[in-house]
Amino acid sequence: MNCDQADPAELAALRAAFDVDDDGGSALGWEAVRSFEAEHGIVLPEPYRTFVAEIADGSYSGPPEYGLLSVAELPGDWGGDEGDRDLSEPFPLTEAWLWEDDADPPEDFEEVLDRVFNHGSVVLGTDGCAMNWHLVVTGPHRGHVWLVTDVGAGPFGAEFGSTTGESGFAGWVRHWAANKPWHDIA
């Protein structure tokens, strides 16, 4: 997983997985991407950064279940206050955490939980029922995709033991494309 350089082969695979035309008409554009990054004090990890700038800023034809959100969008069922989000603050987790069953939660549980939802990640989209996919943009897990739910959070990727898919945005998309339900295939 390379968060600093976009691989042309990965970009081609992303374009195919999201069934996006080559014209880039739904892309955000580099000026808008740089403006978003400056506004939030971050640099989006590759290949997501180039995907949003040149291919598509959101799509209903790919993962997750209810489509990929625009980089600045939150799911319709988002429970928090958008003003609480600070992408420049590091995402606080480096390993899975099932807080619902945590027998020994941290003393500052509510504060840590707030940071999990609101710091250091853009929300890629939702599978519904408070199951949101996040792309970490700051902190030790920059470039990794995490599933954050109402009961816990965990990183996506074979290296974490949660799947056979590769880590990162491109690995997450490739895993989804390879495992699309039969009724989604045209």
Q: Residue 78's pLDDT is what?
A: 77
In a domain, 68, yes or no: yes
pLDDT at 113: 92
- Whether 104 is covered by a domain: the verdict is yes
The arithmetic mean of pLDDT across residues 67-95, rounded, is: 87
Asked whether the predicted pLDDT for residue 185 surpasses 70, the reply is no
Mean pLDDT, the chain, rounded, equals 89
Residue 158, domain member (yes or no): yes
Res. 186: pLDDT tops 70: no
Whether 10 and 16 have beta carbons less than 8 Å apart is answered as: no
Residue 3 lies in a domain: no
The answer to whether residues 174 and 17 touch, using CB atoms and an 8 Å cutoff, is: yes
State pLDDT tens for residues 118-134.
999 999 999 988 899 99
- pLDDT of 71 reads 96
Please, which contacts does 53-58 make with residues 24 or more away whose CB atoms are closer than 8 Å?
Answer: 53/27, 53/28, 53/29, 54/11, 54/24, 54/27, 54/30, 55/11, 55/14, 55/15, 55/18, 55/20, 55/24, 55/26, 55/27, 56/18, 56/20, 56/24, 56/26, 56/27, 57/26, 57/27, 57/28, 58/26
Q: Which CATH number does the domain housing residue 91 bear?
A: 3.40.1580
Asked if residue 162 is part of any domain, the answer here is yes
Q: Which two tokens stand for residue 180?
A: 């699309």
pTM reported for the whole predicted model: 0.92
Considering the domain boundaries, does residue 1 fall inside one?
A: no
Domain ranges, residue 150:
8-184
Q: What is the pLDDT of residues 45-70, one digit of tens each?
A: 999 999 999 999 999 888 898 889 99
- What would the mean pLDDT of 80-97 be, rounded to a whole number? 88
Count structural domains, the chain: 1
Q: What is the pLDDT of residue 179?
A: 83
